Structure formats: structure tokens, C-alpha cells
Amino acid sequence: MHGLILSRLPLENPPELTRKEKALRAAFIDVLEAQSTDLPFPNLINSIYGKKGYQPMLVQKFFSDQQLQMLSDYLDKAVAHGLDPEQFYVTGLKYQLDEVIHQKSSDTVRIQRGLAKLELAVVNSLIRYSMAMQYGVTNPAKIYSHYATPTLIPDSNSVIRIFEIVNLKIYLDSIQPKGKTYLALQKVLKRLDADTTENKDSVKIIMRQKVVVNMERLRWKNKPAEQKFVSVNIADFSLDVMDKEKSVLHMKVCVGEPGDKQTPQLGSIIHSVQINPVWNIPQSIARNEISRYASDDRYYLSNNNIKVFKKGKPVRDPEAIDWSAIDVREYSFQQQPGVKNSLGKIKFLFKNGSSIYLHDTPVRSVFKRGMRAISHGCVRVEKPLDLAFALFGKGERYDQLKRGMESSYPRAKFMGLPRPVPVRLFYYTAWLNDRGGVRFGQDIYGLDQLVYDEMQKKQF
């Protein structure tokens, strides 16, 4: 390495620089300005180098013991993560590294320009790779129209940490995803890529894409910080109560139909339940279903314990109304607690912008179906009492809840959880089964292609 160029320059706006130091500084600034449009967070990077006198920082630390060659090796292995190494500009990094290694000029300014190009190639590749491993290469909030899950994205601190790395290999190893599902998907991807058949069949192509997409989903930082949370996999029609990364309760669920009734991906906090809930029927359901049923059967409303209101006032004789001839928007409908209530005997409440909640159902046969995307958007749970026990725990409050659900005279009652529990509604089309193998599910909402297409674009 060229010790003359890599000797540290004065920091933080030195009062005077020698002519040579000014020339070296100007060379670095010139290269930085020329390449700024290709860099992530260019203004922040410029600020960092400005505070250090516009001189190479990472090359100083990592060149002598061949850590930069090792970095290019890690980038080449990005294929093991379902990513194209060129997303991290690996070819450009190798070229600039080779240029510096074989530099024969004695012109210090020219040498400085070469070092600056290598420095920025390292910064560019390392930041992009680091962010990809820790956050994914896409932002789900920009991909999905139904996504309200708190998800961390790279920020200025992510960039600053890059310049604080001491040992590059230790750092690169530390950011590799290590979850069980992720590692299992990596093994599947390796087997698929090892198939050298020129004309791979469409099934394998789709499978590989599904693996790549779900690895990306697993890189998103959207899981709660708490050790215990409720996890719903919409595409698997399943719910798990997770505690210390292990499922302590598993059950089937029903989710929203494809289209405008699909269950959104979201994250929130379950704060309370309503025992023997009252169902305030959404206007869309009232207009498209309830009024039609009432039109066909004049006793449908009373038989299903549904009260009718007009401008907030009870309607005493809804059977007398010709529901096929009136404007349903003037009415509201409320199903009272009881065995026919569509929400069953309990619903689990959490704040969200889509009026989504978890709830019981009086129709138990639906859980025998394989395809359970059948609801209006909310999530019907197979074992509501077990879920309540997992959230409340053993004690008088749970016993009170159970007695309320079992009562022959159901009355609606709210109960707050002893401790609020996070809930996440995810969408994974590949997951681990009970034996630790990978299972592939149906892409019920057609979301895999959206993620895959976005992954092909340059990010950051």
C-alpha cells in the first residue's frame, strides 16, 4: 500500500494544508462528487468524509491484510441469499481493487484518485450489502397496498456504523441472517441452483422464486421486540403464540377472501377482549348481504338476533320494511350476543386502520377446509379459549372470562389483558413444518410476484 497517501491528514478543517495535501484532498473531493449519484445516502457520506479531512478511511483499515478481497468473496456469495452480486457493485469493487494493487505510477495525486475510487467502491458495496442482510433490499410498505406493519428501514446510524467496523470478517459474519426458516430456505435454494439442467421445468422456476421472495420477507425487520407475541401467517391460515422464538400454541385460522376483502398485513398490540361481542355490521356487508337476506326472508333479522337502527334510533318492526326497495345506507345493523353471533363468543381487540380483529366463530366446520380464505378480512380463530388462556394466563381473570363465554345468558363485556401482547399478521408462502422441513403454500393474494419484481430493481 502507498504509505505516503494513506498517512493521516489533519482533521476537521485544518488551518493550513501544504500544497501536496491540498492536491490530495481536492482529488478525493473530485472523485466523491463524480460518484455521489451512485452512492446511498450521498450527503451523509460526504459529511463523514468532510469531518475526516476527505481521505480514505476504510481502505486504510482493511487493505493490508486482504480484508477487501474477502469482502468481494462475500459479495459473490450473495447468490446464497437469492440476490445478484451486481446489486452490490461487486465487479466495480474488484476492478478498483485490482487497479490499486497493480498501480505503478509515482504520481501521488493519481494514486490518491485511485485510492478514492477504491474507497468509495468499498463504501458503496459494503453499505448496500449490510443493509440487504439486515433489512432486505425492498421496502414492503412501498410494495403492498395492504401493509401496516411497523418495519425498520436503514437510516443514518446504519451508515455511520459502517465506518466504525474494526474487523470486517467479524462484522460480515454478524449480519448474516441466522433464523431457522431462513437457513432452511437457503438449503433449498442451494439444491435448486445445483440443478444444472438447461431447461429447468416451470415448477422449479416458481419454487425458486418463492424461496427467494420468502427469504427477502424474513430479512425485513418487522417482528416485535418483545419475546412473546401472536403471529398469524395469512397464507398458511395459521396462528402461533410465539414465546422466546418458539411456538407455544398453534391453531388454524380463516382469513379474508382474495380481492378487496383480503386480510391486510399489519402489526399492533392486543390490549383487550370482548366476551360475547356485539357485532356492528359494516355498511358494505349490510348493503351486499344482510339486506338481501332480509329481503328474501322477512324473519332473517330477528332469527339472527340483529337489531336495526335508522339515524341512531331503533327500528321497532324491521320485518315490515321492504329491503329490496329502500336505501340501505340510511340504516345500521347490530348483531347481539348469542349462539348465532358471527363473532362467536369472544373477539381480540387491537388498534389498526382496517377494523381488523381476531374472533371466534359459531361455524366450526370451516376449519376442516384446506382453503380458508373465506372471511371479510378479519381472522377467525380455531381455539379462542386456548388463545385467551395464552394471553391472560391462569387466574381469576381468565376464569371470569371463561364463565362469561359459557354463560347461558350472554352479555357483552370488555376485559383488558393483564399485559398487552403484540400481534403480527404476516404473509409467508414458504415456512417450516413440524419436522423442520420447508413447506410451500399457495400465494392466495398473488403477492409473491410483487416482491420478486421489486427485488430486481436497484435499491437504496
Give the pLDDT confidence score for residue 246 in this predicted structure: 93
Q: Are residues 416 and 360 in the same domain?
A: yes
Q: Is residue 415 included in any domain, yes or no?
A: yes
The pLDDT value recorded for residue 311 is 87
pLDDT at 6: 41
Q: Three-class SS string for the chain?
A: CCHHHHCCCCCCCCCCCCHHHHHHHHHHHHHHHHHHHHCCCHHHHHHHHHHCCCCCCHHHHHCCCCHHHHHHHHHHHHHHHCCCHHHHCHHHHHHHHHHHHCCCCCCHHHHHHHHHHHHHHHHHHHHHHHHHHHHCCCCHHHHCCCEECCCECCCHHHHHHHCCCCCHHHHHHHCCCCCHHHHHHHHHHHHHHHCCCCCCCHHHHHHHHHHHHHHHHHHCECCCCCCEEEEEEHHHCEEEEEECCEEEEEEEEEEECCCCCCCCEEEEEEEEEEECCCEEECHHHHHHHHHHHHHHCCCHHHHCCEEEEECCEECCCHHHCCCCCCCHHHEEEEECCCCCCCCCCEEEEECCCCCCCEECCCCHHHHHCCCCEEECCCEEECCHHHHHHHHHCCCHHHHHHHHHHHCCCCCCEEEEEEEEEEEEEECCCEEECCCCCEEECCCCCCCHHHHHHHHCCCCC
19 lies in which domain range?
Answer: 3-174
140 and 16 part of one domain = yes
Same domain for 266 and 140: no
Indicate if 254 belongs to the active site.
Answer: no
Active site residue 378: yes
One pLDDT digit (tens) per residue for the chain, 460 residues? 333 344 334 444 555 778 888 888 999 999 999 999 999 999 999 999 999 999 999 999 999 889 999 999 999 999 999 999 999 999 999 999 999 999 887 888 888 999 999 999 999 999 999 999 999 999 999 999 999 999 999 999 999 999 999 999 999 999 999 999 999 999 999 999 988 666 668 888 899 999 999 999 999 999 999 999 999 999 999 999 999 999 999 999 999 999 999 999 999 999 999 999 999 999 989 999 999 999 999 999 999 999 999 988 999 999 989 998 889 999 999 999 999 999 999 999 999 999 999 999 999 999 999 999 999 999 999 999 999 999 999 999 999 999 999 998 999 999 999 999 999 999 999 999 888 899 999 999 999 999 999 999 866 5
Q: Confirm whether 298 is domain-assigned.
A: yes
Query: For position 4, what pLDDT does the model report?
Result: 33
**Is 196 a member of any domain?**
no
pLDDT digits (tens, 9 = 90+) for 105-131: 788 888 899 999 999 999 999 999 999
State whether 236 and 161 are in the same domain.
Answer: no
**Do 364 and 244 reside in the same domain of the chain?**
yes
- pLDDT 10s digits, 66-86: 999 999 999 999 999 999 999
Q: What is the pLDDT of residue 12?
A: 47
Asked whether residue 410 is assigned to any structural domain, the reply reads yes
**pLDDT confidence of residue 197:** 64
Same domain, 357 and 390: yes
57 plus 132 within the same structural domain: yes
Same domain? For 265 and 310 the reply is no
Q: How many domains does the chain have?
A: 3
Task: State which of 112, 145, 174 marks the end of a domain.
Answer: 174
My answer on whether 304 and 392 are in the same domain is no
Q: What is the pLDDT of residue 459?
A: 60
- Give the CATH number for residue 274: 2.40.440.10
Instruction: For residue 439, tell me if it sits in a domain.
Output: no
Residue 161 and residue 26 share a domain: yes
Is 357 found in the same domain as 391? yes
Q: Are residues 71 and 86 in the same domain?
A: yes
Average pLDDT, the chain: 92
Predicted local distance difference test score (pLDDT) of residue 9? 40
pLDDT at 11: 45
Determine the pLDDT at residue 434: 83
Instruction: Catalytic residue, from 81, 146, 359, 376: name it.
Output: 359
